[in-house]
Structure 1
Amino acid sequence: MRIPPLYRHPIWQRFFAGAAVGGCISWLIFLFMFGTIQQKNTTLIERQAIRIKELNGHIQILEEDYQKLNKENEEMLTIQEIDIKIHNFERYGIRDRLGIYQAEESIKEDLRSLVAKDLTTVYKNKEVIKKTVENKTLKINGKQYKLVVKELYFYTTISLVLEIKLAD
């Protein structure tokens, strides 16, 4: 194989020289454009990184304030409501829902003094509440019944789940 004798024709020499010079010039233009774009992006990223650090500092301060306020609010929680549920009354043949409702209301009246009290104070006296409810004797349909506390939940609402038993 032989290389064609293009070196003898000046037209081809000018073409290849122009292509080489054009390639070098276009490469320099590409490098300049790419460099300026990269410089803009680098400064943008640096500004954004600084802004992110500032915002993270603000977020951390706000979170600390938020946690502090939550802690203060938890300390100031008070009892707002008392919820009583009596279960297993069907077991003793009590079909009188009015009697059960009146029993629940009388227990609520006994515990009414706990409303608007501090949650921690009420929680510390949970055994007293339990004994108060368990020592109460109810009279429904001419029979005496005692209550047993099965579940006791504290938050802004005190929830009592009670079971009924025949009194001795």
Structure 2
Amino acid sequence: MHIPPYHKQPGWQRFFAGAFFGGLIAYMIFLFMYGTMQADFQEEHLALKAETAELKRQNTALLEDNQNLDEKSKEEIGIDSIDIAILNSEEMKFDRLLGHQLTELVREEVDQIIGAPIGSVAENADLLVSTIENKTYEIDDFSYKLEVRRLTIYKKVHIAVHAKFKK
């Protein structure tokens, strides 16, 4: 078998040269398009990866905040301090020392509620009132009975009392 010698004819030589250079140019265009497309995909992949990492960090932070809020909501708010006011101290002509002593005696009676949850103190407000009202407070040979006029229960308990001499 014999292959015809077309490579020696100038028409065929131009055809083969054109096919070779056309294939080379097509391959270059293919490499350029593939490279730019691959670079775009890689850039998009890195952007999505960064966004995913940021969303994971944000999700973790939000879950931790949610757990902290759940724990805080489960904890009840406690009572921090007690404020006692004698409404008729001017009528009774209490001086500062006598008013302070009477206030301290009342504070000693109800001091155990400091640190207690507000809900339990609010449920037992009647017990707190009766504790203050049922005791006779003695200062300098005088006995005093107190009547609770106002009771506000929150982080700071405000008790407003009306004092009377006990006979």
Q: TM-score range by the shorter chain?
A: 0.5 to 0.7
Distance, in Å, in 1 between the alignment partners of 2:120 and 2:129 is 15
| CA positional deviation for 1:55 | 1.9
Cα deviation digits, residues 91-130 of structure 1 (max 9, x gap): x152411111111111112113334545433232112112
Distance 1:60 1:143 in 2: 59
The more displaced of 98-107 and 122-131 is 122-131
| Unaligned runs of at least 5 residues, structure 1 | 1-31
Match of 1:164 in 2: 162
CA drift at 1:58: 0.6
TM-score, structure 2 length as denominator? 0.56
Tell me what 1:147 maps to: 147
Identity of aligned residues (%): 19
Gaps of 5+ in 2: 1-32
| Contact 2:145/2:163 (<8 A) preserved | yes
1:48 matched to which residue of 2?
50
C-alpha deviation, 1:44, in angstroms: 4.8
Letter in 1 for 2:119: T
Contact 1:89 1:163 in 2 (8 A): no
Matched, 1:94 2:93: yes
- How far apart, CA to CA, are the structure 2 residues paired with 1:145 and 1:46? 75
- 1:65 alignment partner AA: Q
Q: How many residues align?
A: 129
What secondary structure is seen at the aligned counterpart in 1 of 2:93? coil
Report the 3-state secondary structure (helix = DSSP H, G, I; strand = E; otherwise coil) of the residue aligned with 2:103.
Answer: helix
